[in-house]
Structure 1
């Protein structure tokens, strides 16, 4: 990673701290108060030793000093506890904010971008990468301020007592941050490489886990096991590289601070022997002065040492931010300021496309110019082989892809519509319905659907789902992914949800692809009922069941090659070829 990129990412990380600026300020203020208490404690302790050993003062007279020490320890312990709580709260708040930004961006870009990476890679961004930002805000940023405040406070306390000791501290202090900067350059690159390797490993492992049965069926389990072993070994090596830099830098930082403290100890040792006679403003160097300065010397370097420890949190934060920022700054079709709205007094939508060219997120053409008209309340089928452009057409209708040419909804250009309002008019049923862990009722109302008990009962009846929902009950719990229901039951719940959504456009993507014959007939029957009240566009490979469709669009290699009714198309062109191939596959 070049320096310009690192600098940009660090600026981005700092701009994210605005919501927690007050908490960060409170954290730093408490640490500053703690440093003042530390100086006062050291002063009391040095005075006690001087009075007891050199002056011979009675212990009873020094009782206030002892009480002051105890109070100081208690206050510093309380401040340390409060700072830990505040630091955790800072990191927690920022993680929630950044995860919300990622969720919002995922909502904007849609499946066209999401499907370009495996699910494991997105899980890594949402979990590990965001978690790696925690210590940057909870520890590194406060410590960066403390590495300046605490040394300055100690220098202000030491210089009036002994300028030579203060000069030793001031001249040796820059050695620590200089070395941290040198190490940080290598640490950021290692951390970024480690995160990228982890993302690849997560994606590969999750994909292999999901396809385990298929891999075993084709006798590829051993091959994929070896591939995962290689990826795991690569991750181990990158992790060890990060740890190697961390341990090496810590050792060197300890070396520099130890030498600096030893240098001050040598100065006071020779001063007490009478070999050195400077630094004390022409006054004798007392036990108080030596003990005070030597006790504060480790505390002077401690914030810098802690910053060196947390400097790796900075490197990890920059490595994680690189991946997060790359995703958040992707251009999105949905970021356009589109404010037009569909009138609420229409029951269905009509869609017209003229010279429509669908574009990928990178701006490349995914289709040739498309021209079609979808009447309101019509049932339209979209057929074609895989890769023909059917999913791209669905994604552009959902507002997830940009386009050239014209695509109007009830005469209004799609790219001028308010995207959120437009999607509220769409109901969707796909091959694999989304069911989350929760009750059947909660899954039916997913997506902020407002429906009464009577409407839910009616929707379940129309979706042919009452045969199992009456037995289970609407409050029956189902597991993540619909575990506990059959594929057909889950699909009928998805149909019922589409009914409750009361959309004006119904999009169907292979809704019966994974169903048995009985479940397929039930789902198709339910879909025919709900498609009468809205415009329906269905992607399907089961082209033998399209006789009841009002219009069929046939796509091939990114263009619409045929349009018409089943009777018009079944004996000619590419549709006849698809129909013949389908019959051959069935037989």
Structure 2
């Protein structure tokens, strides 16, 4: 990863702290208070040692000092506990905020972008990579400030007692962060590689798990096990690289810290032997001064050592943020300033002129398309797989960018507010999504407002009452639609579309999973509701095509024919599709 990219990601991570700024400031305030208490404790301890050793003071006379030390230890322990609680809360809140932003972004970009990566990659992004940001906010950021505040507090305490000791501390302190940064740059690269490898492994494992039955049928389970083993080994190596960098950074910090403390000890040793006579402001060097400075010396470097320990968390956060920021900053199809809205009661008319639909990466998926969907019309979209039908559907849903013109009631689609526009759409696909929850909750998905009578009527029209009456609307559907058949799920999706009452009805092979009898019944219901909505349906059923007001025939990304069934059935590409369909049925 380039240094400029690392710097940008670090700035982005710091910018996300605004929602928990008060908690972070409280954490830093508590840590600063603990540093002041530490100096007072050290003063008490040095005084005790000096009085006991040099002045031969009786222990009873020093009881207040002992009580003061006990109070100091208790307060610092309490502050440490509070800081841990506050730090955890900071990390927790930030993780929830970033996960919500990722979910919102997923909702904005739609399935066209999501399908470009395996489900395992998204799971890693949402779970593992966001989780790796926790310690950055709970530990690294507060420690970064403390590594400046605590040494300054100690220098303020040490310089009035012995300027040479203060100078030694101040001169050797920069060695620690300098080498920490050098090691940290390499650690960020290792962490980013580790996150990439984990995302790849997660995607591979989840996809193989979902297709386990197919792999066993084709006797490829052992082969895929070997592939996963290779991926696991790659992840092991990148993890060991990360740990190696973490241990290296700790070793470097300990080395320079030990040298600095040793220099301080040598200075006081030679001073007590009379070999050095500077640093005491022309006064005699007392045992109190030596104890005070030597006890504080390790504490002076401790915040920097802790920062070095947490520097690995910084590297891990930058590595994780790389994928998160790349996704969150992905260009949106709609600008925030484009908020034109449609009239709620007006029937929809859709026109396309030289419409070229692009992929999220900017590649053209279709050739220039020209067509018109009249208000309340019923249009069929036909063509072989890969002709561009689904791309056209995704463009109408606002999930794909386009060039040219695509207007809804005279308003360019990419100037409509996406959420408000989708409220006008009822959609039924080939593989309907049912979430874990009751049948009723799935029917009302998408903030649908419907009474019990309207729900009953929609289920009746969708021919779903034969199983919903037995199961009940409170019947719990498991994750992935487990608990009902594919055909039943399709009928619930159709009932949901009926309840939505959108101005535009988009149907993508809505009866693909139904038997012949249910298919005819559901199509009758769809034909009824399509009379009050503008309808566009992808279908291969000849019976459906005969009832349509218009047929759009697509081939290789362009509309090659338009018209009604009687006009098209004996000519061109449409006639070939009909002949092939009749042959397949026969």
Q: Shorter chain as normaliser: what TM range?
A: over 0.9
In 2, Cα distance between equivalents of 1:159 and 1:67: 27
| Map of 2:419 onto structure 1 | 420
Count of paired positions: 586
Partner deviation per Cα, 1:361-419 (whole Å, 9 max, x = no partner): 23332211111111222222111122211111111111122222221212222222222
The structure-2 alpha-carbon separation of the partners of 1:332 and 1:543, relative to structure 1 and needing over 3 Å to count, comes to farther
- The alignment status of 1:411 with 2:410, answered yes or no, reads yes
In 2, Cα distance between equivalents of 1:583 and 1:30: 79
In 2, Cα distance between equivalents of 1:219 and 1:583: 35
In 1, Cα distance between equivalents of 2:583 and 2:316: 57
8 Å CA contact 2:463, 2:518 repeated in 1? no
Q: By how many angstroms is 1:323 displaced?
A: 0.9
In 1, Cα distance between equivalents of 2:84 and 2:156: 27
In 2, Cα distance between equivalents of 1:582 and 1:518: 20
Question: Which stretch shows the higher mean deviation, 196-205 or 272-281?
Answer: 272-281
Partner deviation per Cα, 1:524-564 (whole Å, 9 max, x = no partner): 34323332221111123445643222222111111001112
| Map of 2:376 onto structure 1 | 377
Q: By how many angstroms is 1:450 displaced?
A: 1.2
- The alignment status of 1:472 with 2:490, answered yes or no, reads no
| Map of 1:294 onto structure 2 | 294
Q: By how many angstroms is 1:181 displaced?
A: 0.8
8 Å CA contact 1:544, 1:579 repeated in 2? no
| Map of 1:401 onto structure 2 | 400
Q: By how many angstroms is 1:353 displaced?
A: 1.3
Question: Which stretch shows the higher mean deviation, 354-363 or 76-85?
Answer: 354-363
- The alignment status of 1:531 with 2:516, answered yes or no, reads no
| Map of 1:137 onto structure 2 | 137
- The alignment status of 1:103 with 2:103, answered yes or no, reads yes
Q: By how many angstroms is 1:504 displaced?
A: 0.8
Spell out the pairing of 1:21-60 with structure 2 (5 A cutoff).
21-60=21-60
**TM-score, length-normalised on structure 2?**
0.96
| Map of 1:323 onto structure 2 | 323
In 2, Cα distance between equivalents of 1:153 and 1:485: 67
8 Å CA contact 2:184, 2:249 repeated in 1? no
The structure-2 alpha-carbon separation of the partners of 1:46 and 1:543, relative to structure 1 and needing over 3 Å to count, comes to farther
The structure-2 alpha-carbon separation of the partners of 1:518 and 1:212, relative to structure 1 and needing over 3 Å to count, comes to farther
8 Å CA contact 2:357, 2:400 repeated in 1? yes
| Map of 1:514 onto structure 2 | 513
| Map of 2:571 onto structure 1 | 572
Q: By how many angstroms is 1:186 displaced?
A: 0.6
Spell out the pairing of 1:146-161 with structure 2 (5 A cutoff).
146-161=146-161
| Map of 1:335 onto structure 2 | 335
RMSD over aligned Cα atoms: 1.7
The structure-2 alpha-carbon separation of the partners of 1:515 and 1:345, relative to structure 1 and needing over 3 Å to count, comes to closer
Tell me, what secondary structure is at the counterpart of 1:552? strand
- The alignment status of 1:63 with 2:63, answered yes or no, reads yes
Q: By how many angstroms is 1:465 displaced?
A: 1.3
Tell me, what secondary structure is at the counterpart of 1:319? helix
| Map of 1:554 onto structure 2 | 553
Q: By how many angstroms is 1:271 displaced?
A: 2.5
Which ranges of structure 2 fall in alignment gaps of 5 or more residues?
Answer: none
In 1, Cα distance between equivalents of 2:265 and 2:545: 92
Question: Which stretch shows the higher mean deviation, 482-491 or 91-100?
Answer: 91-100
Q: By how many angstroms is 1:513 displaced?
A: 2.4
| Map of 1:84 onto structure 2 | 84
| Map of 1:277 onto structure 2 | 277
Question: Which stretch shows the higher mean deviation, 17-26 or 512-521?
Answer: 512-521
Partner deviation per Cα, 1:176-226 (whole Å, 9 max, x = no partner): 111111101111111111111111111121112212222222333222222
| Map of 2:494 onto structure 1 | 495
In 1, Cα distance between equivalents of 2:307 and 2:430: 52
Tell me, what secondary structure is at the counterpart of 1:55? coil
Which ranges of structure 1 fall in alignment gaps of 5 or more residues?
Answer: none
8 Å CA contact 2:388, 2:558 repeated in 1? yes
8 Å CA contact 2:429, 2:507 repeated in 1? yes
Partner deviation per Cα, 1:468-510 (whole Å, 9 max, x = no partner): 2122221221111111111111111111111111111111112
Tell me, what secondary structure is at the counterpart of 1:335? coil
Tell me, what secondary structure is at the counterpart of 2:426? strand
Partner deviation per Cα, 1:286-322 (whole Å, 9 max, x = no partner): 2211211111111111111111111111111111111
The structure-2 alpha-carbon separation of the partners of 1:398 and 1:243, relative to structure 1 and needing over 3 Å to count, comes to same
The structure-2 alpha-carbon separation of the partners of 1:86 and 1:165, relative to structure 1 and needing over 3 Å to count, comes to same
Question: Which stretch shows the higher mean deviation, 567-576 or 160-169?
Answer: 567-576
Partner deviation per Cα, 1:412-440 (whole Å, 9 max, x = no partner): 22222222211100011111211111111
In 2, Cα distance between equivalents of 1:222 and 1:492: 39
The structure-2 alpha-carbon separation of the partners of 1:370 and 1:462, relative to structure 1 and needing over 3 Å to count, comes to same
8 Å CA contact 1:332, 1:361 repeated in 2? no
- The alignment status of 1:389 with 2:388, answered yes or no, reads yes
Q: By how many angstroms is 1:572 displaced?
A: 2.2
Q: By how many angstroms is 1:84 displaced?
A: 1.0
| Map of 1:259 onto structure 2 | 259
Question: Which stretch shows the higher mean deviation, 76-85 or 517-526?
Answer: 517-526
**TM-score, length-normalised on structure 1?**
0.96
Question: Which stretch shows the higher mean deviation, 270-279 or 98-107?
Answer: 270-279
Partner deviation per Cα, 1:122-167 (whole Å, 9 max, x = no partner): 1111111111111111111111111111111111111111222212
